[in-house]
Amino acid sequence: MDRGFILVSLSRKNPPIIGYDTFGRTPAEELLARCRGAAVHCLRRFGSMCVVAENPVKGVIAQEGLVPVVFPDVTYAAQSQPLDYAWDSELPDNPRFPEAPPRTAGVNDYPTFPALLRGYQNSAFLADRREQREALIEFDWLCLEGRAPQLEVKVGATARFFEEENFIGFTLEDEDAERPAAIAVNPAGGLNITGQAAGAWRLTLFPEREAPRRYLLKVNAAAGARRPRDGNEGPWVTTSQVWSTGPEPEQPRFSQRSDLERWCDSVGCAPVLLALMQTWAEHWQNVPGAYWERPASFQLAGRKDSLQMIDSPLTYISGSVDGRMRDWYDYWHDQCDVACWPHNGSGSTLPWDASSALKGYVEYTASVLMPLQVANDTGGKLVGGKYRTVIDSWGDDWDEAGAAVANAIKAGRPGGGILHGALALCDGLALPENGQETLFRQRGL
Task: Please state the three-class secondary structure of 309-368 as a single string.
Answer: CCCCCCEECCCCCCCCHHHHHHHHHHHCCCEECCCCCCEECCHHHHHHHHHHHHHHHCCC
Domain stops at, among 39, 65, 91: 65
The Cα–Cα gap between 45 and 67 comes to 10
**Domain presence at residue 241:** no
pTM for the full predicted model: 0.75
pLDDT of residue 174: 67
- Report if residue 229 sits inside a domain: no
174 and 205 fall within a common domain: yes
Residue 127 maps to a domain:
no
Burial class of residue 164, CB neighbours in 10 A (0-12, 13-18, 19+): exposed
Q: Whole-angstrom Cα distance, residue 133 to residue 378?
A: 53
Task: Give the per-residue pLDDT at 352.
Answer: 84
Q: Which of 22, 49, 65 is the last residue of a domain?
A: 65
Overall size of the chain counted in residues: 445
Q: Are residues 61 and 98 in the same domain?
A: no
**Pair 203, 215: CB distance under 8 Å:** yes
| One domain, residues 284 and 397 | yes
250 plus 341 within the same structural domain = yes
pLDDT for 423 equals 33
In a domain, 54, yes or no: yes
| Domain match, 60 and 186 both | no
pLDDT tens string 215-242: 999 999 876 555 444 444 443 444 556 6
Regarding whether 212 and 102 lie in a shared domain, the answer is no
For residues 8 and 420, is the Cβ–Cβ distance under 8 A?
A: no
Instruction: Kindly state whether residues 118 and 152 are assigned to the same domain.
Output: no
Same domain, yes or no: 347 and 393: yes
Point out the residues of the chain with pLDDT beneath 50.
Answer: 227-238, 396-397, 420-432, 445
In the prediction, which pLDDT does 175 show? 59
366, 266: one domain = yes
| CA 307 to the chain's CA centroid | 30
Domain of 348 in residue numbering reads as 73-122+246-442
Q: Give pLDDT, residue 195.
A: 93
Report the chain's mean pLDDT, rounded to a whole number. Answer: 81
Contacts of 1 (CB under 8 A, 6+ apart): none
Q: CATH number of the domain that 154 lies in?
A: 2.60.40.1380
Q: Is residue 226 in a domain? A: no
Q: Is residue 235 part of a domain?
A: no
User: Are 297 and 382 part of one and the same domain?
Assistant: yes
Q: Is residue 406 part of a domain?
A: yes
Instruction: Domain count for the chain, please give it.
Output: 3
Q: Provide the pLDDT for residue 165.
A: 94
Q: Which of 16, 37, 65 is the last residue of a domain?
A: 65
Residue 356: what pLDDT?
92
Is 252 domain-assigned? yes
Residues 202 and 159 in one domain: yes
- What is the pLDDT, as a whole number, of residue 275? 92
- 8 Å CB contact between 327 and 374: no
Do residues 267 and 397 share a domain? yes
